[in-house]
Amino acid sequence: ETIAHEIESPIPKMPPFDYAPPPYNGPSAAEILQKRKQFLSPSMFYFYNNTPLNVVDGKMQYLYDDTGRRYLDAFGGIATVCCGHCHPDVVKAIVNQTNRLQHCTILYLNPAIADFAEALASKLPGDLKVVFFTNSGTEANELAMMIARLYTGCHDIISLRNAYHGNAAGTMGATAQSNWKFNIVQSGVHHALNPDPYRGVFGSDGKMYAKDVEELITYGTSGHVAGFLSESIQGVGGIIELAPDYLPAVYSSIKKAGGLCIADEVQCGFARTGSHFWGFESQGVVPDIVTMAKGIGNGIPLGAVVTTPEIAEVLTRRSYFNTFGGNPVCTAAGHAVLKVIEKENLQENAHVVGSYLKERLNSLKDKHEIIGDVRGRGLMLGVELVTDRQLKTPAKVETLHVMDQMKEMGVLIGKGGFFGNVFRITPPLCFTKEDADFLVDVMDYTMSKM
Residue of 61, 141, 177, 331 interacting with ligand PLP (CB under 6 A): 141
Residue of 236, 304, 340, 385 interacting with ligand PLP (CB under 6 A): 236
Task: Please count the residues of this chain forming the interface with ligand PLP, following the rule CB under 6 A.
Answer: 14
User: Interface with ligand PLP by CB under 6 A: which range of 60-68, 103-111, 152-160, 259-267?
Assistant: 259-267
Residues 194-233 that bind ligand PLP (CB under 6 A): 231
76 binds ligand PLP (CB under 6 A): no
Are residues 302 and 293 in contact, defined by beta-carbon separation less than 8 angstroms? yes
165 binds ligand PLP (CB under 6 A): yes
428 binds ligand PLP (CB under 6 A): no
User: Interface with ligand PLP by CB under 6 A: which range of 9-17, 163-171, 376-384, 423-431?
Assistant: 163-171
162 binds ligand PLP (CB under 6 A): no
Residue of 117, 189, 260, 293 interacting with ligand PLP (CB under 6 A): 293
d(CA 244, CA 343): 32
Nearest to 229 by CA among 150, 288, 296, 297: 288
Q: What are the beta bridge partners of residue 386? A: 394
Upper half-sphere CA count for residue 155 (Cβ side, 13 Å): 8
Q: What are the beta bridge partners of residue 436? A: none
138 binds ligand PLP (CB under 6 A): yes
Residue number, 90 or 395, with CB nearest to ligand PLP: 90
266 binds ligand PLP (CB under 6 A): yes
Characterize the bridge pairing of strands 189-192 and 157-160: parallel
Compute how many other C-beta atoms are within 10 angstroms of the C-beta atom of residue 346: 24
Instruction: In angstroms, give the least distance from the CB of 28 to ligand PLP.
Output: 29
Residue number, 269 or 410, with CB nearest to ligand PLP: 269
Instruction: In angstroms, give the least distance from the CB of 390 to ligand PLP.
Output: 31
156 binds ligand PLP (CB under 6 A): no
**DSSP sequence for 101-163:** -S---TTS--HHHHHHHHHHHTTS-TT--EEEEESSHHHHHHHHHHHHHHHHS---EEEETT-
Instruction: In angstroms, give the least distance from the CB of 206 to ligand PLP.
Output: 19
136 binds ligand PLP (CB under 6 A): yes
Nearest to 78 by CA among 432, 414, 311: 414
273 binds ligand PLP (CB under 6 A): no
d(CA 389, CA 391): 6
Task: Give residues with Cβ within 8 angstroms of 314, minimum separation 6.
Answer: 147, 150, 151
110 binds ligand PLP (CB under 6 A): no
The site for ligand PLP (CB under 6 A) is made up of 136-138, 141, 164-166, 231, 235-236, 264, 266-267, 293
